[in-house]
Amino acid sequence: MAHTAPRGPVDASHSPHFVGPATFSRLPRADQLDDPADIAVLGIPFDSGVTYRPGARFGPGAIREASRPLRPYNPAQETAPYDLVQVADAGDLAVNPFRVEEAIEAIEAGADELLAHGTRLMTLGGDHTITLPLLRSAAKRHGPVALLHFDAHLDTWDTYFDAPYTHGTPFRRAVEEGLLDTEALCHIGIRGPLFGRGDLTDDAKMGFGITTAADVMRRGVDEVSHQLRERIGDRPLYISADIDVLDPAHAPGTGTPEAGGLTSRELLEILRGLAGCRIVSADLVEVAPAYDHAEMTAVAAAHVSYDLITLMARRTEA
């Protein structure tokens, strides 16, 4: 989508970071633009699919607040993303917190509306339930998509209390619905106890590869990024990042923390190593600010989102 002069964030040299509305990175709102944005930051404050600690419904607001100090030039990627494409904050999508299936339908419809204009999404959750309808919408536009899933947990379980739609089931449903390219699927950062070895067997049958948190430590971020790029190739790629992929020392504000996770630096460097991949959309989920300390989880989430936006901006066509 061509824009002769993308509108960037508020200039912090004239207006302090802490002043004004808390859009992501103090970017313009989508409704302030004459044309649809190339990349829209969309909040989905929904956490009715959690199985442990609630509170991710407040994640989008916390991430936006923590994004205030982000500056327009990303030196790690040698890119000024807001100069390359028009990025705007599309606000929050209002969904029913009491009816999960109805909320999923509303999320899919909201994503469809934005993607119809050629916009790519950087979605702020919300719990991981929201990824299923976002994948449905992405697959309508691109066909089955490759998936990189950064998380402590597999999220390929069948049901919880016989409920098929929870934050622990989105990727099993996505495989069953044909939304994913099963030749190009990988979990990164997996760790912690499982219900049984059958969890891993079922996951492998769906086509997922696993790079554990310990693998990242032993192999290093450059090798991990290289292996992920080799697996994905030039397929349309969706990236879903659960903030609990980080160790609780780096991200305590989440619903299901697990010891032994990635550092913020490791996650950011793995993502930066994916430059050139054909990212069609991304999400960042499971920030629960009630359990955060000094906004460290929200700050990490804001920076991860910023780097994902930069990756999408660097490859302007999806």
For residue range 140-190, list pLDDT tens digits in order.
999 999 999 999 999 999 999 999 999 999 999 999 999 999 999 999 999
Cβ-contact 152, 192 below 8 angstroms = yes
pLDDT of residue 308 exceeding 60, the answer is yes
Cβ-contact 285, 131 below 8 angstroms = yes
4 pLDDT tier (thresholds 50, 70, 90): low
pLDDT of residue 18: 85
What's the pLDDT tens digit per position in 177-224?
Answer: 999 999 999 999 999 999 999 999 999 999 999 999 999 999 999 999
Q: Is residue 8 part of a domain?
A: no
Q: Is residue 217 part of a domain?
A: yes
230/235 Cα distance (integer angstroms): 11
Q: Is residue 113 part of a domain?
A: yes
Total domains in the fold of the chain: 1
Q: Is residue 187 part of a domain?
A: yes
Minimum mean pLDDT among 13-27, 114-128, 295-309: which range?
Answer: 13-27
The conformation of residue 26, written as its DSSP 8-state character, comes to: G
Domain span holding position 265: 24-314
Q: Is residue 14 part of a domain?
A: no
What's the average model confidence in pLDDT over 25-49? Answer: 95
Helices H / strands E in the chain, number of each: 10, 8
55/52 Cα distance (integer angstroms): 10
What's the average model confidence in pLDDT over 118-136? Answer: 97
What's the pLDDT tens digit per position in 80-105?
Answer: 999 999 999 999 999 999 999 999 99
pLDDT of residue 57: 98
pLDDT of residue 318: 57
118 pLDDT tier (thresholds 50, 70, 90): very high
Residue the block writes with tokens 């192999």: 219
Distance of CA 172 to the CA centre of its chain: 18
What's the pLDDT tens digit per position in 239-285?
Answer: 999 999 999 999 999 999 999 999 999 999 999 999 999 999 999 99
CATH number at 250 reads 3.40.800.10
Q: Is residue 234 part of a domain?
A: yes
Q: Is residue 264 part of a domain?
A: yes
At 46, which helix (H) or strand (E)?
A: none
Cβ-contact 180, 143 below 8 angstroms = no
Q: Is residue 4 part of a domain?
A: no
